[in-house]
Structure formats: structure tokens, C-alpha cells
């Protein structure tokens, strides 16, 4: 049974309450550092920051609609090997899911790590965020929260990033400690819940006031998930219709210039060096001529569609739908829509959901003799 405590929000200042909570966590002897989205000095840019001095937490802003990078990759760097200390990491649900995938791929470890997950209010695309943010960043974040939590958009609002609009998993699963926001009176008290043994351990030491999760939270989540799921399915359908043959797919990806930004931004693309930048695609000059001769014309660069298909083949079982690929594309290709649509089917086929649990083996890592007989043509 999960344990829940309540944190007081004073003077309607949700950010201050969260910063106070992070400080309490950092104070614990066993915690060496806390990784948290934090505004950088001078600019309003928010980046994951590894903090050891509590005063730096005054700039922490886990609720800002800035999502420049998926922190799963950062956490994987911090935990790949023993670091000699324990880190608490404040992560979005999609970051936690991506991290779970990376752990399965031996790119990170959950030992010496406590994950703190917040109900995710979503984020803007990078471009939108920079246009939207103003000097008083705290006020901006507050306004954003109020729009997202109460629906009060009187102060004017922007659309969330495409990935967030269709995100049906805005609640942190797989975190050790969660902070609830949906359906919660954020002017009063917000619930903090220990979700794992490691979470309970830390929880016990924090000296928080025990309480109960507001009942409205579950209802609010159900409603939100239902809306998002409907939006997601509509997106799937629309995307499928746009890419259901090779010609259409080629059109869909026509603006790709092989910059590979999407693979750099992808949290689960874990290769040290992508196969597309190795010698494998170092074609002979005579090869280009042969291709051109065979078809009469050949588009350059040649390996764009192939690149995306390969990435789909490699990563669609691990795609968590964070949308960083679309965020990173300089030519506005809706990469996330394509990947999520394909990933959804792929994961469904293996009864797998990326990031769901560390106990689910990645589908391609285990061999089951009796699956997909209709595909492989072997009857049991």
C-alpha cells in the first residue's frame, strides 16, 4: 500500500512548495545530489541540472512548459556505472519511461537512484516556448499551471506540443515518489506518494505529514486520459492515411535532409554511433551511377526514407512518445506522429508497452518459439 503525505502550498505559490520539497530531499544524508529542471542564469532556458547546493534549487522549475531535452539520457549518464553517491532525479513521465527502456538496454541503473515524478502538465515545442516566455518566468509558469489545471485561459494560451496533446500517459508510472497535481487544489495541499521500496525508504526520512490523496485526482486523470486517448487515436488514423504506401511515406519524409537531429534527440536511440554515419553507408561513386541508370533518376541524399525505416525497425518497440524527434526537426517533419503510430502497433503486437515495467523483457531480446507463426510460416 502506497504511503501518501501532503505538502502545504503557501501563498498560492506552487513552485515554492515544490522547491521546498526538493530541498528537504536534498538535505537527506543519503542523497548526494538532485537532478531537476532548472532555469539557467540570464536566459529563461530550462535545462536538467545536477544540484548539490540547496540554494540553486530556487531556480528549479519542474512545471515550466519547456522541454528542450529528454532527461532520460542524462540520468543514464549519471547511473551507467557506480557513482559513489545517490541521486534524486525529477523527471517527466515520458522521461521515466524512456529511462526504463534504457535500463533494459543496460544504459542506466536504478541502484543509487530515486526518481521523483510529477503529474505532467505538458510542454510547448521549443520554438513556441521561446516565443511565449517572458522575463518574469515564475509568473509565466504560474499562468501555465493555472491554464492546465483549472482551464482558465483568460490570460491567453498556446497549444501544447503535438506529442503532449496526444499523451495519454501524463501520470508518472515507474517513479519512486510521485507528486500529484491533477484534480488537486494546488492552492492548498499537494499529495506526495511513495511508489516503491526505495521511495518508501526516503519517504520515511522526510518527516512529511501523512495524509490522503484527494479523491478528485483519480477522476481528473481519468477524464484527461480519455480525452488524450481519443486525440491520440484520431492522430493515429490521420497519420496512417498519410503514410499508407511507400510513395506517400516518401512524400511525408520529403523534407528530410539527413541531419540526424531526431536520432540525437531520441532518448532511446542508444547507439554510440548510428549505423547511418558508419562506413556502411559510404557508397561507392559507381553505385550512385548504377542506381541512377537503373531508375533514370535518383533523389539525393539517397538514404532518407531508409534511415527512418531503419530507426523505426530498431526503436519502435522502445518509443515512449516524448516527441523530442519532432521538436528537433529543422524542417518540421511530423516525426513523432509517424513513430508513435508505428510504435503503437509494434508494441501492441508483442503485448509490450515501452517504459511500462522493468520486468517486461524487450520484445526482440527474447525468443518465443510459438509466436507469429502466421508470419514466419512455421506451425507448432
Partner 1 sequence: MHKKIGKALVVGAGISGIRAALDLAETGYGVTLIDRSPHMGGVLSQLDHQFPTDRCGMCKMLPLVDRDASSQYCLRKGLFHENIEILLSTELVSVDGEPGNFQVLLRQKSNWVDPQRCIGCGECAAVCPVEVPDTFNVGFSPRKAIYLPLPHAVPNSYIIDLSACTQCGECEKICPTGAVCLSEQERKRFRILVVDDELIVRDSLKEWLEEEGFSVDMADSGAQALQKLANDTFHLMLTDIKMPGMDGVELLEKAKEDQPGMCVVMMTAYATVETAVEAMKIGAFDYLVKPFEPDKLIPMVVRIYEDLEATRGRRVEAGAVVVCGGTAYYDPSSGINPFGYKVLDGVVTSLEFERIFSGSGPSAGKLVRPGDGRPVRRVAWIHCVGSRDLQAEADFCSSICCMYAIKEARLAREKSHGEVETTLFFMDMRTFGKSFQRYRDQAESVCGVRFERGRVHSVVGDPDNGDLLIRYVDTAGKVSESRQDMVVLAVGQRPAAGSAGLAAALDLPLNSWGFGQTEPFSLTRTARQGIFLGGSFSGLKDIGESVTQASSAALAASRVIHQSGGSLALETPPAAAPRNVLREPPDMLVVLCICGGTLVQNGGGSVLIERLSVDPAVSNVTTIDKTCTSEGWEQLVELVEKHKPNRLLIGACQPYVYARKIRQLAARIGLDASLLDVVDLHLSAVRSPNDPCDPPDGFHPALRRQLAALETGLARLKHVDPVRRSALKVQQRALVVGGGIAGMSAALAIADHGYPVDMVEEQATLGGNLQWLKRTLEGEDVTALFDETRQKIDKHPLIETHCSSRILTSFGKVGHFVTTVETEGEELRTLEHGAVVLATGGKEAPTDAYGYGTSECIVTQKEFEMKWADGSLDAGKLNSVVMIQCVGSREEPRNYCSRVCCPSALKHALALQKENPEISVTILYRDMMTTGFTETYFTEARRRQVLFVQYATDNKPTVKVDGGGARVTVFEPIVGKELEIEADLVVLATGIVPNLPGKLAAAFGATIDPDGFFQEAESKWRPVDSLKEGIFACGLALSPRSVTEAIATAEAAAQRALRILCRDSLPAGKIVATVRRSLCSLCERCIDACPYQARALDANGEKVIVNAAMCQGCGECATVCPNNASVVDGFGQKQMLEIIDAAFH
Binding residue for partner 1 (CB under 8 A) from 270, 316, 321, 337?
270
- Per the DSSP assignment, residues forming a β-bridge with 132 are none
What are the grid coordinates assigned to 164, written together? 503532449
Q: How far apart are CA 340 and CA 239, in angstroms?
A: 10
Instruction: Give Cα 149 to chain centroid, integer Å.
Output: 20
Rounded to a whole number of angstroms, the CA Rg of the chain reads 22
Nearer CB in complex with partner 1: 207/377: 377
Nearer CB in complex with partner 1: 3/371: 371
x/- binding map, residues 85-124, to partner 1, per CB under 8 A? --------------------xxx-----------------
Nearer CB in complex with partner 1: 34/266: 266
Cβ contacts of 354 within 8 Å, gap of 6 or more:
97, 98, 100, 101, 268, 317, 318, 319, 320, 343, 347
Nearer CB in complex with partner 1: 130/352: 352
What are the grid coordinates assigned to 50, written together? 545536477
What are the grid coordinates assigned to 11, written together? 501563498
Binding residue for partner 1 (CB under 8 A) from 247, 279, 370, 374?
279
Binding residue for partner 1 (CB under 8 A) from 187, 230, 275, 349?
275
Cβ contacts of 128 within 8 Å, gap of 6 or more:
158, 159, 161
Q: What are the backbone angles phi and psi of residue 56, rounded to the nearest 5°?
A: -70, -15
Residue 379 Cβ, how far from partner 1 at the closest point, in Å? 7
What sign for the dihedral angle of Cα 188, 224, 93, 178? positive
379 sits near partner 1 (criterion: CB under 8 A): yes
- Per the DSSP assignment, residues forming a β-bridge with 179 are 118, 192
What are the grid coordinates assigned to 366, written together? 527474447
- Per the DSSP assignment, residues forming a β-bridge with 60 are 38
x/- binding map, residues 292-331, to partner 1, per CB under 8 A? --x-------------------xx----------------
271 sits near partner 1 (criterion: CB under 8 A): yes
Select from 47-55, 241-249, 273-281, 343-351 the region that touches partner 1 (CB under 8 A). Answer: 273-281
Give 350: exposed, middle or buried? Use CB within 10 Å, 0-12, 13-18, 19+: middle
Binding residue for partner 1 (CB under 8 A) from 16, 274, 305, 309?
274
Binding residue for partner 1 (CB under 8 A) from 365, 368, 370, 376?
365
208 sits near partner 1 (criterion: CB under 8 A): no
Residue 106 Cβ, how far from partner 1 at the closest point, in Å? 5
Nearer CB in complex with partner 1: 238/289: 289
- Contact between 128 and 33 under an 8 Å Cβ cutoff? The reply is no
Residue 269 Cβ, how far from partner 1 at the closest point, in Å? 8
Nearer CB in complex with partner 1: 11/111: 111
Q: How far apart are CA 63 and CA 299, in angstroms?
A: 44
Residue 285 Cβ, how far from partner 1 at the closest point, in Å? 10
135 sits near partner 1 (criterion: CB under 8 A): no
Nearer CB in complex with partner 1: 225/312: 312
Give the count of residues interacting with partner 1 (CB under 8 A): 26
Q: How far apart are CA 201 and CA 195, in angstroms?
A: 10
Binding residue for partner 1 (CB under 8 A) from 55, 272, 295, 368?
272
Cα-based distances in Å from 254 to 19, 104, 114, 257, 323: 45, 34, 43, 8, 19
Residues that bind partner 1 (CB under 8 A): 105-107, 270-275, 278-280, 282, 286-287, 294, 314-315, 362, 364-367, 378-380
Amino acid at each position: 500500500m502506497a504511503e501518501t503525505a501532503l505538502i502545504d502550498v503557501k501563498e498560492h505559490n506552487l513552485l515554492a512548495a515544490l522547491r521546498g520539497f526538493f530541498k528537504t530531499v536534498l538535505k537527506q544524508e543519503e542523497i548526494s545530489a538532485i537532478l531537476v529542471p532548472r532555469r539557467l542564469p540570464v536566459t529563461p532556458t530550462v535545462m536538467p541540472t545536477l544540484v548539490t547546493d540547496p540554494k540553486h534549487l530556487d531556480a528549479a522549475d519542474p512545471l515550466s512548459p519547456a522541454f528542450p531535452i529528454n532527461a532520460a539520457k542524462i540520468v543514464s549518464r549519471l547511473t551507467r556505472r557506480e557513482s559513489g553517491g545517490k541521486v534524486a532525479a525529477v523527471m517527466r513521465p515520458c522521461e521515466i519511461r524512456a529511462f526504463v527502456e534504457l535500463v533494459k538496454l543496460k544504459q542506466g541503473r536504478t541502484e543509487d537512484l530515486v526518481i521523483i515524478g510529477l503529474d505532467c502538465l505538458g510542454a510547448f515545442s521549443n520554438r513556441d516556448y521561446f516565443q511565449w516566455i517572458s522575463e518574469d518566468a515564475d509568473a509565466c509558469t504560474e499562468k501555465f499551471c493555472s491554464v492546465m489545471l483549472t482551464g482558465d485561459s483568460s490570460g491567453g494560451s498556446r497549444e501544447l506540443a503535438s506529442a503532449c496533446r496526444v499523451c495519454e500517459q501524463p501520470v508518472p508510472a515507474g517513479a519512486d515518489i510521485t507528486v500529484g497535481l491533477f484534480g488537486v487544489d494546488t492552492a492548498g495541499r499537494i499529495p506526495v506518494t511513495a511508489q516503491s521500496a526505495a521511495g518508501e525508504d526516503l519517504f520515511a526520512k522526510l518527516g512529511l505529514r501523512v495524509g490522503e490523496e484527494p479523491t478528485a485526482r483519480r477522476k481528473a486523470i481519468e477524464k484527461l486520459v480519455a480525452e488524450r486517448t481519443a486525440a491520440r487515436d484520431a492522430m493515429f488514423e490521420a497519420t496512417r492515411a498519410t503514410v499508407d504506401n511507400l510513395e506517400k511515406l516518401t512524400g511525408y519524409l520529403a523534407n528530410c535532409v539527413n541531419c540526424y537531429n531526431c536520432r540525437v534527440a531520441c532518448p532511446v536511440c542508444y547507439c554510440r554511433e548510428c549505423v547511418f554515419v558508419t562506413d556502411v553507408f559510404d557508397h561507392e561513386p559507381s553505385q550512385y551511377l548504377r542506381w541512377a541508370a537503373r531508375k533514370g533518376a535518383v533523389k539525393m541524399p539517397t538514404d532518407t526514407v531508409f534511415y527512418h525505416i531503419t530507426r523505426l525497425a530498431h526503436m519502435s518497440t522502445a518509443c515512449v512518445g516524448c516527441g523530442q524527434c519532432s521538436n528537433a526537426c529543422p524542417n518540421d517533419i511530423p516525426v513523432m506522429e509517424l513513430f508513435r503510430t508505428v510504435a503503437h502497433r509494434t508494441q501492441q503486437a508483442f503485448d509490450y508497452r515501452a517504459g511500462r515495467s522493468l520486468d517486461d523483457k524487450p520484445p526482440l531480446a527474447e525468443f518465443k518459439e510459438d509466436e507469429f507463426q502466421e508470419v514466419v510460416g512455421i506451425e507448432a
